[in-house]
Amino acid sequence: MIGILAVQGDFREHEHMFQRMGVPTRRVRRAGDLTGVTGLVIPGGESTTIGKLAREYGVEEEARRRYQEGSLALWGTCAGAIWLSREIEGYPDQPRLGVLDLAVARNAYGRQVESFETDLAIEGFDRPFHAVFIRAPVITRVGEGLRVLATYRGDPVWAVGERAMVTTFHPELTDDPRVHAFFLRLVEKGVSLKAG
């Protein structure tokens, strides 16, 4: 079962994408909702809000335990990517899961008027992916055990580990299911980090 963290943000857009692909999903608001979930998507939204609400009803603790025991794969989009990152530049106390060895800078492209959409070339995709960046974070450091699948202006925008991934853009705001399909494969089989 794919779970979608539904404390705040555009969780319905992820649901709709999975629905179109014929994949059932469950909304996760409390720790108990994670039972039977093998892949958890953390949507876009406000990262400070999501961090606080995920901590209060035990989701953060349970997701950490399940990830560490190897029974839960994770995908964070935008705010969700911030939540998964070990280091948030300038906000050391912001609540987060922090299981991926990444550093991110929030709102690094600027305020909303600097938000943009663009076509991204992505490793392993035969045609570009239309990516929407909204007050997006920039990944400033990628640790060992993570591989970068796409960059924009030289900065990583999609990083993948064996059991988790982050995108700083919003595949759920498009009609293109390729990144969601990639996550389903990651949940099922994990991802080999060897290049090529």
Partner 1 sequence: MEAKGTLKVKTGFAEMFKGGVIMDVTTPEQAEIAEEAGAVAVMALERVPADIRAQGGVARMADPKKIKEIMAAVSIPVMAKVRIGHFAEAMILEALGVDFIDESEVLTPADEEHHIDKWAFKVPFVNGARDLGEALRRIAEGAAMIRTKGEAGTGNVVEAVRHARRMWKQIRWLQSLREDELPAAAKELEAPLDLVKWVHEHGKLPVVNFAAGGVATPADAALMMHLGMEGVFVGSGIFKSGDPRKRARAIVRAVTHYDDPEVLAEVSEDLGEPMVGINIDLIPEEERLAKRGW
Q: Is 78 a catalytic residue?
A: yes
Q: Name every residue whose Cβ is closer than 8 Å to that of residue 73 and which is 6 or more positions away in sequence.
A: 38, 39, 40, 67, 163, 164, 183, 186, 187, 190
Q: Is 80 helix (H, G, I), strand (E, B) or coil?
A: helix
> Least distance in Å: CB of 2 to partner 1?
19
What residues have CB less than 8 Å from 188, skipping those under 6 apart?
none
Interface positions with partner 1 (CB under 8 A): 6-13, 29, 44-46, 48-49, 52-53, 56-57, 78-79, 91, 106-107, 110-119, 132, 134-135, 170, 173
Q: Is 170 a catalytic residue?
A: yes
137 or 161: CB nearest partner 1: 137
Q: Between 27 and 65, whose beta carbon lies closer to partner 1?
A: 27
Q: Which is nearer to partner 1, 158 or 187 (CB)?
A: 158
Q: Which of 14, 15, 62, 170 is catalytic?
A: 170
Exactly one of 15, 62, 87, 172 is catalytic; name it.
172
What sign does the dihedral 34-45-161-18 (CA atoms) show? positive
* Rounded Cα–Cα distance for residues 140 and 183 (Å): 23
Q: Which residues have CB under 8 Å from 196's CB, separation 6+?
A: none
- Tokens standing for 34? 């994670």
For partner 1, the closer CB: 91 or 143: 91
HSE-up (13 A, CA, CB side) for residue 128: 10
Which position among 60, 62, 78, 180 bears the catalytic label?
A: 78
Q: Is 87 a catalytic residue?
A: no
Helix, strand, coil share (%) of the chain residues, nearest 5: 30, 30, 40
List residues with catalytic annotation. 78, 170, 172
